[in-house]
Amino acid sequence: MIGVDIVSINRVEQFVKKFEQKALDRFLSKKEQKIAKKIETIAGFWAAKEAVSKALKCGIGERLSFLDIKIKKDKSNAPYFKLSKKAKKIFKIKNSSLSISHDNGFAIAVVVIFFKK
């Protein structure tokens, strides 16, 4: 399954300015907040979590929250995601790939997920 999301960096910036730390805590873990220092990265993480939820065919809501999806970086600084224990029980993922980019005021993320049979 494929999931894609695009978000205005300015929209995320306004959300963070308005609600400050509460905004970040709503959709980023403490570890993610340490990784995402710039607003472009924060917007990219938002788009990534939305893209994951779309690839899982559930969206962000009762079955899957923003905090059930953890965005991480590997040794070469490439993004990937992990699901919470609760979400892993629901969604049986075999393999996945995540790409995040930002340019010209937008952040976009694409996710490809292969499920276990």
pLDDT tens digits along 15-42 = 999 999 999 999 999 999 999 999 999 9
Contacts of 13-16 with CB under 8 Å at 24 or more apart are 13/39, 13/43, 16/42
Q: What sign does the CA torsion over 55, 75, 105, 16 have?
A: positive
Give the pLDDT score at 75: 96
pLDDT tens digits along 58-73 = 999 999 999 999 999 9
Q: H-helix or E-strand containing 52? A: helix 39-55
* pLDDT over 90 (residue 117): no
Give the pLDDT score at 31: 97
Asked if 17 and 43 touch (Cβ cutoff 8 Å), the reply is: no
Query: What architecture is the 2-115 domain classified under in CATH?
Result: Alpha-Beta Complex (3.90)
Alpha carbon distance 23, 55 (integer Å): 24
Is the pTM higher than 0.75? yes
How is the chain split into domains, by residue range? Answer: 2-115
